[in-house]
Structure 1
Amino acid sequence: MVADERQMMGLLGSRDSLLRLLEDGLAADIHVRGNRVTLKGAAADVALAERTISELLALQESGSVITPDTVRRTIGMLAAPAGAGADPAAESPSAVLGLNILSRRGRTIRPKTVNQKRYVDAIDAHTIVFGIGPAGTGKTYLAMAKAVQALQAKQVTRIILTRPAVEAGERLGFLPGTLSDKIDPYLRPLYDALHDMLDPESIPRLMAAGTIEVAPLAYMRGRSLNDAFIILDEAQNTTPEQMKMFLTRLGFGSKIVVTGDVTQVDLPGGQRSGLQVVREILADLDDVAFSVLTSGDVVRHRLVGHIVDAYERWDKQNNPAAPDEQPRRLGRPTRRSDASAAHRTPARGPQEPTR
């Protein structure tokens, strides 16, 4: 029995669109008459349907609006087996999907999967957090939201965003303009996320004051970063030496979040990624956490998760690497003759780009 008529309308959706999703996703038969919901079927199916409806109602009570995506994710969370040592209350759909990180102009940023909530909780609980997972899992976006939240709560005095300036399999050549113009294309994803979370008019002012700094990784050397929330994005494109350099910039009152996807390494010459090495080195350190996200945590178009899975299957079939060998990227493998030829080629001065 749903006491509130508005809650019932929110549960069923416009023209019963959410009710149809519930019927498609659950094995139990759902019958609605007035404010009463009746469930029929096997005991396990009825129990799952009852929990799903209860969680959706709890989400509504917390102020969330139920959407088709909310319904699908709630069913998926409840149907999935609980992880070892998981807290059922802390990882229930209402706790995960109802956790508000940041709100701006009526839009709320929140985790959408259990692994995303674990990632957010790890950021709260640890000084250094590594978010590792495929594209679209919200690694950088959630870290940015936590950084803005910490700045607004005066837990830190500045946000520092950085990423290595490595080209993704293409050579862009010499870029025109000032130094800022040259590095902007590499840092554009970080600017895009900032514009989602802050008023665009305030960003130039905050950057001019040094409250927000966006810079390539090379600019971090020699610095000690105090009272800052520091995010290293695309960390799979760091070398082990660069990763060590970056982590040792940590100052008092600061927090570091490192994000990356170890299956998308763009380092030249088959170099091993610093993000792969660091897990072997820091795995046993206190106050350091590794959060792993999977294709099930993709929050872009649902097809993105299927694409990630398809590429993983293809890689396993065509590139059976040894366990201690870094995953190889798709495309033509680098031959020894190519690498040696690169070393023999004399360095040339700046050239005009081909027109």
Structure 2
Amino acid sequence: MVASSTIQLPSVESALALAGYQEENLKVLARQTGATVVLRGQDLLISGTEKQIERCSDLVRALGDLWTRGKAVSTVDILTAQHALNTDRTEELQALREDVLVRTRRGEEIRAKTFRQRQYIQAIRSHDLTFCIGPAGTGKTFLAAMLAVQALLSNQFERLILTRPAVEAGERLGFLPGDLQQKINPYLRPLYDALYELIDPEKIPSLMERGVIEVAPLAYMRGRTLNNAFVILDEAQNTTPAQMKMVLTRLGFRSRMVVTGDVTQTDLPSNQASGLAVAQRILQNVDGIAFCHLTQADVVRHPLVQRIVAAYETYEKNA
């Protein structure tokens, strides 16, 4: 028997926040609960079986601390809330939303969007060496950079070092125009983007000149000891085993290191083992090292990115 229920939303802003761009969130709510969900003004109309209506209503209410404040609800927010309801983790969901990592220069709050992202953040906070492995769009580099800049600005560390191997899509630095900084900038752009969220772009050159922030290709880490520094190694799947061992053994006193990558997206020659995959096998049981794994369910970019990642995962499993 088809029934219906109405949830009255407190404002136009809350209705827009819940519905999402082109009412994408209403489609997600419908897919996840089986109910029919329609927004008419500030009235959310839910129809279906009693169980479907109950499930959808509970999910909408679980998102209430976002949409009641006009905070945009994302697909990931919906899926995380549903997971919390299904596994009786609503208290943990509340803690996840209350744990604000930082506020950007524009005043936006940065926080974990999923339980696995929160576990990743907690691992970084409590371990000197953390590995995070997962597909594009899961926030691996962004979250690490947010925590790193926050730690730098609060004087927990003297330096922030951002590095990644300059091996992508068959390109090499020598074929790019310009001096060293101009050559490496395309490879390090994602790291810069994270810096710009928290630090005035005009101040970054000065911090780099003084060595407070260092952005460099991995090859420039050889022979150094990185004391009192927060180090992020990005795109670690493109390191060789020797490069990975080299950078891990640079870790100095009062330092912290985060290594991020996606073992399914290596740009190394087909006969070359990935340093990230080798390190995972060798170090996964070493005390004091954390390994975090994010999946396509943790993708926090455009909803289409999540579906693209899922489609590729399915294809590769069946290939």
Into which bin does the TM-score normalised by the smaller protein fall? 0.7 to 0.9
* Deviation of 1:298 (Å): 1.1
In 2, Cα distance between equivalents of 1:24 and 1:305: 18
Q: Secondary structure at the match of 1:253?
A: coil
Larger Rg: 1
Structure 1 stretches of 5 or more lacking a match?
319-355
Q: Give the alignment's Cα RMSD to 1 decimal.
A: 3.4
In 1, Cα distance between equivalents of 2:13 and 2:54: 18
What aligned pairs does 1:1-355 form with structure 2 within 5 A after superposition?
8-9=10-11, 12-14=14-16, 17=19, 21=26, 24=30, 26-27=33-34, 45=52, 48-49=55-56, 51-59=58-66, 65-69=70-74, 72-80=75-83, 88-90=90-92, 92=93, 94-103=94-103, 104-170=105-171, 174-318=175-319
Aligned residues with identical type, % of pairs? 49
Check whether the contact 1:21–1:68 (CA below 8 A) recurs between aligned residues: no
Check whether the contact 1:89–1:95 (CA below 8 A) recurs between aligned residues: yes
In 1, Cα distance between equivalents of 2:267 and 2:314: 20
Check whether the contact 1:97–1:113 (CA below 8 A) recurs between aligned residues: no
* Deviation of 1:264 (Å): 0.9
* Deviation of 1:178 (Å): 2.1
* Deviation of 1:45 (Å): 4.5
* Deviation of 1:97 (Å): 3.6
39 and 168 in structure 1: CA distance in 2 versus 1, 3 angstrom threshold: closer
Check whether the contact 2:173–2:183 (CA below 8 A) recurs between aligned residues: no
1:295-345 per-residue CA deviation (whole Å, 9 max, x = no partner) reads 111111111122122222222333xxxxxxxxxxxxxxxxxxxxxxxxxxx
Query: Could you state the TM-score of these two structures normalised by the residue count of structure 2?
Result: 0.82
More divergent stretch after superposition (173-182 vs 42-51): 42-51
More divergent stretch after superposition (207-216 vs 111-120): 111-120
* Deviation of 1:116 (Å): 1.3
Letter in 1 for 2:78: I
Check whether the contact 1:158–1:229 (CA below 8 A) recurs between aligned residues: yes
In 1, Cα distance between equivalents of 2:47 and 2:175: 67
Q: Secondary structure at the match of 1:129?
A: strand
Letter in 2 for 1:13: A
Matched residue pairs, number? 306
Structure 2 stretches of 5 or more lacking a match?
1-7
303 and 228 in structure 1: CA distance in 2 versus 1, 3 angstrom threshold: same
In 2, Cα distance between equivalents of 1:66 and 1:279: 38
Check whether the contact 2:166–2:187 (CA below 8 A) recurs between aligned residues: yes
* Deviation of 1:192 (Å): 2.4
In 2, Cα distance between equivalents of 1:230 and 1:255: 6
In 2, Cα distance between equivalents of 1:15 and 1:149: 28
In 2, Cα distance between equivalents of 1:214 and 1:189: 11
Corresponding residue of 2:3: none
In 2, Cα distance between equivalents of 1:301 and 1:147: 25
1:175-199 per-residue CA deviation (whole Å, 9 max, x = no partner) reads 3332222222222222222222211
1:90-117 per-residue CA deviation (whole Å, 9 max, x = no partner) reads 2x1x333443212122222222222211
Check whether the contact 2:173–2:184 (CA below 8 A) recurs between aligned residues: no
In 2, Cα distance between equivalents of 1:16 and 1:219: 47
More divergent stretch after superposition (123-132 vs 95-104): 95-104
Q: Secondary structure at the match of 1:80?
A: helix
249 and 15 in structure 1: CA distance in 2 versus 1, 3 angstrom threshold: closer
14 and 280 in structure 1: CA distance in 2 versus 1, 3 angstrom threshold: closer
Provide runs of 4+ in structure 1 moved above 6 Å: 28-32, 35-43, 81-84
* Structure of higher RCO (CA pairs closer than 8 Å, 6+ residues apart): 2
In 2, Cα distance between equivalents of 1:24 and 1:307: 21
